């Protein structure tokens, strides 16, 4: 039996905008409320996580993530409504793609 594989990502003229890893990072930020905590849960350096979020925000027409500086009250990182909408849209698109691939797997293996 054969199995078709695929990875989904969205690009613009500057490169990758969103993909599986970036979506996981955005979801971790939403859950943790902190870029450093999100990076830690993913086994990623803070610098790499910051660079990814910076690239996402620069590529997007609106901010996907808002970051507040630490201090006595502490800082934090939150997804914007636009960021949340793009996660939902990406996940829906990914599911439709996987549904299609599953049908293609069945057709290809129907000997």
The CATH code of the domain that includes 23 is: 1.10.10.10
pLDDT at 70 (0 to 100): 62
Whether 93 is in a domain gets the answer yes
Whether 67 is in a domain gets the answer yes
pLDDT at 83 (0 to 100): 97
DSSP-assigned beta bridge partners for residue 79: 65
pLDDT at 111 (0 to 100): 74
Whether 4 is in a domain gets the answer no
Mean pLDDT by 10 residues, the chain (111 residues): 92 92 97 95 97 95 86 77 98 96 94 74
Whether 72 is in a domain gets the answer yes
Domain that holds residue 83: 9-108
Query: Quick one: which H or E segment has residue 105?
Result: helix 81-108
Whether 2 is in a domain gets the answer no
pLDDT at 106 (0 to 100): 94
What is the count of structural domains for the chain? 1
Flag whether the pTM goes above 0.85. yes
Query: What letters, b where the CB count within 10 A reaches 16 and e where it falls short, cover 64-100?
Result: bbebeeeeeeeebbebeeebeebbeebeeebeeeeee
pLDDT at 78 (0 to 100): 93
Whether 54 is in a domain gets the answer yes
Whether 1 is in a domain gets the answer no
pLDDT at 85 (0 to 100): 98
């Amino acid at each position: 039996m054969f199995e078709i594989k695929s990875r989904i990502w969205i690009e613009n003229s500057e490169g990758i905008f969103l993909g599986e890893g970036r979506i996981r990072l955005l979801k971790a930020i939403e859950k943790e409320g902190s870029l450093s905590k999100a990076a830690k849960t993913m086994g990623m350096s803070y610098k790499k996580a910051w660079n990814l979020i910076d690239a996402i925000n620069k590529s997007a027409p609106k901010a996907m993530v808002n970051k507040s500086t630490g201090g006595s009250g502490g800082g934090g990182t939150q997804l914007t409504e636009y960021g949340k909408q793009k996660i939902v849209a990406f996940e829906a698109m990914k599911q439709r793609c996987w549904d299609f691939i599953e049908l293609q797997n069945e057709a290809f293996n129907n000997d």
